[in-house]
Amino acid sequence: MSLLLHLINQFRHTPGHGPWPRVTVDEATWRLAGEHLAVGRWSLLGLWGDADVVHAAVLEGDDMAVLSLDCVAGAFPSLSQYHAPALRLERTIRDLWGLEPQGLTDRRPWLDHGRWVDDDPIHRGGGATTTDTEYRFLAAEGESLHEIPVGPVHAGIIEPGHFRFSANGETVVRLEARLGYVHKGIERLMAGSDLERASMLAGRCSGDSTVAYALAFARATEAAAGLEAPARAHWLRALMAELERLANHLGDIGAICNDAAFALMHTNCGILRERVLRAAYDCFGHRLMRDRIVPGGVTVDIDARREEATRALIVEIERRFPALIELYDNTASLQDRTVGTGILNHQLAKQYAAGGYVGRASGRDFDARRIPGYSPYADLEFSIPVLDQGDVNARVWIRIREIEQSLAILTQLLDGLPPGAVRTNLPRRGGEGLALVEGFRGDVLVWLRLAEDATVRRCHLRDPSWFQWPLLEAAIEGNIVADFPLCNKSFNCSYSGHDL
């Protein structure tokens, strides 16, 4: 038995929480959890606020659990004093819930930029937010250092965020990101929403991962309501999820090469990406497949003609993609930019439980489709590529290999698509559910509590970027400023998914 299971069995499991247990622990155990996280025995999957409670989702091996702590007098012992990856999450809890992490080493606001003047974010007891709109970046001191401020409005068509470089000549000494510009207050909008509206909101946390978010939300809802979606729905969901992965990976590979001024790859990958989106439209009626996955199943079924659109897509990509891989691999000027650039070491990837290609390119063998795993992936044959180099090149190769795996998965899904209904009605009942789903970027976590009338009482959505953004700052250190776009694109973290 894992240490985690042993520990949580000492406490009463919260009834109606599924599929993994949630226990309310005492302060000493909360601190102990911080120590287990610090030594790497556990991984932190999420940390979020609630009404006078904080919750932490942790993983040990393939055991998962949610630990909850009642906040006496609005405070709780900071986990980040043991485990640095919790830091921004705790600053956020402070911003949105007014709960005080005791021992917090960085007391600057994070999502709160001092602009929500008339309103109370979620549960902070009313009143104005921080009035100190001046944000102090961490200082880097030394001879001939200079600062380069970038953003929030960037030169390209990308999301807003601010990057503060401290550089010595061309070499980056420190990068610090400031995020929160696209904070939309999604979690408070969720509270009190019916499932239809809440599902739409979930699908709009990060547009490139709309399928992954809708899937995670649907699975968490089904876990809370004690319901299993029909088998055919699971397979169609996976079909959408793999198409989404395919489209994003193709777009990313092209964009990374484009940031190394190699437009030929960008053009060709862009063509394949467009073909995926068109196939998605033909199959599911929306290029990004938005609002197609809902609690209880999916809203659209596919017939033989639509199935053919996906098969034709697989044939087309299998025909075109190998030449692109070869082109990438044999272009010395491109390799010169990507190999050895922006190295993320394994230790940091493990400490931050970095998901997706960021973790897997740095030797962290984790994929939510395997652990904890969900239907229908147990019935499919696929491998999870892992590399050790941790550079831009490795993150490109993980994507290349995942495209190949996704193509193989898509064929299996089409061949084995079970017959039957694609949607069932949800029972009107309360409960709590947790889901971990593998989006293209990494694992998306959704936790929610349903009221008795099946409206959402509280929903937390954690983007994989929370544990990847800080690592970008580490990976860029010692690289030249001109390689930042390359490193940034190879991480491709979400701003919107992070800011919520």
Partner 1 sequence: MRRLLFNSVVRAPLTEPAPPADDAALAELAASVERNARRRLGRSLAIREVDAGSCNGCELEIHALNNAFYDLERFGIRFVASPRHADVLLVTGPVTKNMRTALTRTYAATPEPKWVVAVGDCAFDGGVFAASYAVDSGVSSLLPVDLHIRGCPPSPEQLLRGLLTLLQTSARSERRQP
Q: Which is nearer to partner 1, 202 or 348 (CB)?
A: 202
* Options 11-19, 200-208, 336-344, 447-455: segment touching partner 1 (CB under 8 A): 200-208
**In what helix (H) or strand (E) does residue 43 lie, and over which residues does it extend?**
strand 43-50
Tokens in use for 22? 């949630």
Residues 6+ apart with CB under 8 A from 290: 203, 204, 207, 210, 214
Q: Tell me how far, at minimum, the Cβ of 406 lies from partner 1, in Å.
A: 18
Residue 256's closest CA among 457, 487, 52?
Answer: 487
Residue of 19, 270, 285, 372 that binds partner 1 (CB under 8 A): 270
Residues 6+ apart with CB under 8 A from 322: none
197 binds partner 1 (CB under 8 A): yes
Residue 282's closest CA among 308, 244, 314, 249?
Answer: 308
Q: What is the rounded radius of gyration, in angstroms, for the C-alpha atoms of the chain?
A: 22
391 binds partner 1 (CB under 8 A): no
Q: Tell me how far, at minimum, the Cβ of 66 lies from partner 1, in Å.
A: 26
Q: Which of residues 297-326 bind partner 1 (CB under 8 A)?
A: 323-324, 326
Residues 126, 120 contacting (CB under 8 angstroms): yes
What are the residue ranges of helices labelled H in 82-165? 87-97
Q: Tell me how far, at minimum, the Cβ of 334 lies from partner 1, in Å.
A: 11
Q: Tell me how far, at minimum, the Cβ of 495 lies from partner 1, in Å.
A: 7
Residue of 127, 156, 169, 478 that binds partner 1 (CB under 8 A): 156
292 binds partner 1 (CB under 8 A): no
Q: Which is nearer to partner 1, 281 or 382 (CB)?
A: 281
SS3 69: strand
Residues 462, 485 contacting (CB under 8 angstroms): no
425 binds partner 1 (CB under 8 A): no
Query: What Å distances lie between residue 346 and 29, 208, 343, 394, 474, CA to CA?
Result: 28, 27, 9, 12, 12
Q: Which is nearer to partner 1, 242 or 244 (CB)?
A: 244
Q: How far is CA 80 from the centre of its chain?
A: 20
16 binds partner 1 (CB under 8 A): no
CA atoms of 56 and 90, how far apart (whole Å) = 11
Residue 374's closest CA among 443, 436, 416?
Answer: 436
* Options 157-165, 167-175, 226-234, 362-370: segment touching partner 1 (CB under 8 A): 157-165
277 binds partner 1 (CB under 8 A): yes
327 binds partner 1 (CB under 8 A): yes
Q: Which is nearer to partner 1, 59 or 437 (CB)?
A: 437
* Options 25-33, 64-72, 141-149, 158-166: segment touching partner 1 (CB under 8 A): 158-166
CA atoms of 275 and 250, how far apart (whole Å) = 10
CA atoms of 329 and 253, how far apart (whole Å) = 12
199 binds partner 1 (CB under 8 A): no
Q: Which is nearer to partner 1, 145 or 200 (CB)?
A: 200
Query: Strands, E, within 339-496: which ranges?
Result: 431-438, 443-450, 456-462
Please state, as a whole number, how many other Cβ atoms lie within 10 Å of the Cβ of residue 227.
Answer: 18
Q: Tell me how far, at minimum, the Cβ of 149 lies from partner 1, in Å.
A: 12
Residue of 16, 19, 103, 160 that binds partner 1 (CB under 8 A): 160
188 binds partner 1 (CB under 8 A): yes
88 binds partner 1 (CB under 8 A): no
186 binds partner 1 (CB under 8 A): yes
Residue type, 92: T
Residue of 34, 101, 180, 385 that binds partner 1 (CB under 8 A): 180
Residues 424, 435 contacting (CB under 8 angstroms): no
Residue with tokens 């940390």: 47
* Options 16-24, 268-276, 341-349, 413-421: segment touching partner 1 (CB under 8 A): 268-276
Q: Tell me how far, at minimum, the Cβ of 200 lies from partner 1, in Å.
A: 6
* Options 11-19, 185-193, 217-225, 410-418: segment touching partner 1 (CB under 8 A): 185-193
Residue of 145, 189, 408, 474 that binds partner 1 (CB under 8 A): 189
CA atoms of 249 and 328, how far apart (whole Å) = 14
Residue of 16, 152, 226, 285 that binds partner 1 (CB under 8 A): 152
Strand partners for 48: 55
CA angle (229, 233, 238) in 5-degree steps? 115
Q: Which of residues 61-80 bind partner 1 (CB under 8 A)?
A: none
175 binds partner 1 (CB under 8 A): no
164 binds partner 1 (CB under 8 A): no
Residues 6+ apart with CB under 8 A from 304: none
Q: How many residues bind partner 1 (CB under 8 A)?
A: 55
Tokens in use for 140? 């880097």
Q: Which of residues 110-149 bind partner 1 (CB under 8 A)?
A: 111, 113, 115-116, 118-121
CA atoms of 245 and 178, how far apart (whole Å) = 27
467 binds partner 1 (CB under 8 A): no
Tokens in use for 187? 């979690």
Q: Which residues bind partner 1 (CB under 8 A)?
A: 111, 113, 115-116, 118-121, 152-153, 155-160, 180-186, 188-189, 197, 200-201, 204-208, 210, 251, 264, 267-268, 270-271, 273-274, 277, 287-288, 290, 323-324, 326-327, 330-331, 494-496
